Structure 1
Amino acid sequence: MYRWQIASTIAEHGVVGIVRATDSQSARQRAAACLHAGLEVLEVSLTTPGATTVLRELRDEYPNALLGAGTVLDATSARLAVDAGARFLVAPSLHEEVISTGHRYGAAVLPGVDTPSELVRALESGADAIKLFPASRWTPESMRDVLAALPQAPLVPTGGVSVDRAPDWIANGAVAVGMGSGLSEGDQAEATERISGLLRGIRQARG
């Protein structure tokens, strides 16, 4: 899969599920709950102990899922994540070495930005999409104002995006949203209902 196909799949799906846990077993359980519920794009945060092992296991068990790594802070972490099966890399900040390393090995990269100046730098650095982080410091409307000046920016608001408000971000121009542990809370039936409703809301927001 080429980088443009990876970015296109993220945009088409509209949601990047984020798995972050205090141990690898919990991470696998949360990931499985999301994937079984119909989520097709998932990142495992490298803050999770054994994150690369979790990625390898998920890659083998769910070959059709688009898996990525989150909280990628340097070139070494980027290479290890790609070797473990990550096809996209997400960072909370903007580091050109993460972008260049990810691209060298075929991964799409979504660096984190919080200002229009950082957003422009990310575009100049070749970001495949851009994580607007933390989204809690923005609103869908303020993001739309930035996109009026920079309509070429493929933004993925992350950090504080709720299931209820996710469609608002999409309706105001985001290509996708990043969402964490709230997706997999409760039992499998609850997770499935929540994720199904989220995906349905995103489709409706796109018209």
Structure 2
Amino acid sequence: MTGNPVLEALRRHRVVAVVRQRDADSALAQVRTLLDAGLRVIEISLTTPGAWEAIERLVTLCAGRDDVTVGVGTVHTPDEVARAADLGAEFVISPTLSRPVIAAARERGIVAMPGCLTPTEMWQATQWGADAVKIFPASLWTPASLAGMLEALPSLRCIPTGGIAPGEVTEWLAAGALAVGMGSALTTLPPGPLPWTTG
């Protein structure tokens, strides 16, 4: 695709597993469950109390593994970008569009995926250097509307997030999403191989 390892991981694994928990221990317990289920792109949200501890522990847990991609979510400031990079995170995701956050991520050499809702915001994000955009909340979109937008803006790399169930993933991917983000819905995954990965 691009030679960017994070974007390649998204293309391969198709789901960003979003972790929001009550503390660092609970977050790491959920991460282990997600890894056991085959999820390989993990985002720990800063809304988790003790998130920075959880991120540091996750990076340590995955040291030496080239099949797990670790990121930080709900990032609002350049200082948070810097701390994420210092801990070894490979990407940051934001709920909103922030030029300083994108610039900080580019400066530190990690992937920036800001939250956007409109095509104008998504296009602006890419002009500011975003590597991909988080369509948030995805519940305000449909796969059909995503497909229609990508006909006009085919260069966008979109990750719909918010309100997507496991059974809807393939429909979003067929519409042109690079990947989707899911949090609590991942607890409803049936046993067995993940149906959306490309290997």
TM-score by length of structure 2 reads 0.92
Provide closer, same or farther for how the CA distance between residues 97 and 153 of structure 1 changes in structure 2, counting only shifts above 3 A: same
- CA deviations over 1:51-83 (Å, ceiling 9, x no partner): 111111111112221100000011011111111
Structure 2 partner of 1:5: 5
Aligned residues: 195
Structure 2 partner of 1:40: 40
Backbone CA RMSD of aligned residues = 1.9
Task: Name the CA distance, whole Å, in 2 between partners of 1:203 and 1:165.
Answer: 16
Q: From 33, 49, 73, give the equivalent of 2:76.
A: 73
Segments of 4+ in structure 1 off by > 6 A?
none
Structure 2 partner of 1:116: 119
Provide closer, same or farther for how the CA distance between residues 61 and 202 of structure 1 changes in structure 2, counting only shifts above 3 A: closer
- CA deviations over 1:117-170 (Å, ceiling 9, x no partner): 101101101111110100000000011111111000000000011101011000
Structure 1 partner of 2:87: 84
More helix by share: 1
The gaps in structure 2 that reach 5 residues or longer are none
Q: From 130, 134, 156, give the equivalent of 2:133.
A: 130
Structure 2 partner of 1:168: 171
Structure 2 partner of 1:193: 191
Task: Name the CA distance, whole Å, in 1 between partners of 2:102 and 2:26.
Answer: 29
- CA deviations over 1:73-128 (Å, ceiling 9, x no partner): 11011111111221100001110111111111111010010001101101101111
Check the 8 A contact 2:132/2:159 in 1, yes or no: yes
Provide closer, same or farther for how the CA distance between residues 141 and 41 of structure 1 changes in structure 2, counting only shifts above 3 A: same
The gaps in structure 1 that reach 5 residues or longer are 186-190
Q: Percent identity?
A: 38
Q: Give the counterpart letter for 1:128 in structure 2.
A: D
Check the 8 A contact 2:164/2:185 in 1, yes or no: no
